Amino acid sequence: MLQVTTLDSGQLLACLEALPPLDLLGVALLRQCQPTAGGWFPRDVPVEQVIQATVEMVAYGTRSTQASQKLANLRPVPLNIPVVEFPL
C-alpha cells in the first residue's frame, strides 16, 4: 500500500515562522541609535554604515520577494514514496 508523508500549508507556515530572525544591520542600527526627537529614524549614523545596511536590506527584500513567489507557486512535493519500482 502506498504511504505518502505530507506537509500541508499550515505546517509549512509554522516551519517558516519558527525560523530565527535574520540579523540585519539596519535593524541593529535602529536599536543602537536613538532617533532624534520627533523623528522616526536615527540621523547620527555614519554614511558608510547606512549604505552598507541599505545594500543588505535591498538584497534581503529581493530574496524575500523571490522566496515568497516560489512558495506561492509551490507544487505538492511527495516526501516519501515507498515504491520499489520507482528507481527503475
Partner 1 sequence: MNDLLQTQAMLTALLQTNTALSLALAAAWLDPALLADDEDEDDECAYTLAICRRCFPDVYASAVHHLRSGVSRSEVDRVFCEGIGRYLVVDVQDIQQFQYGVPWEALGIDLYDQEAFQEASPRLAVVAAWFGVTAEDSTIEQARRVAEALIKSLEPYGETGIHSDVASLLRWLFGLSGNTLVDFTDEELYESGIEPVPWECDDIAFINDVQQEAYMMVDAATRALTLLETNADWREYFQQNTKLTRRNPKHAARLDWPADAGSGDPDATHADA
Q: Which of 2, 9, 31, 80 binds partner 1 (CB under 8 A)?
A: 31
Q: How far is the CB of 41 from partner 1 (least distance, A)?
A: 4
Among 1, 2, 18, 37, binds partner 1 (CB under 8 A): 37
* Residue 86 contacts partner 1 per CB under 8 A: no
Which one, of 34, 31, 27, 30, lies nearest residue 60 by Cα? 27
Report whether 13 contacts 88 (CB < 8 A). Answer: no
**Nearest-approach distance from CB 78 to partner 1, in angstroms:** 32
CA distances (Å), origin 72, targets 11, 13, 43, 53: 15, 12, 38, 28
List the one residue from 4, 12, 61, 69 that touches partner 1 (CB under 8 A). Answer: 61
* Interface segment toward partner 1; rule CB under 8 A; list 8-16, 28-36, 70-78, 79-87: 28-36
Per-position DSSP letters for 43-66, written without gaps between them: S-S-HHHHHHHHHHHHHHHHHHHH
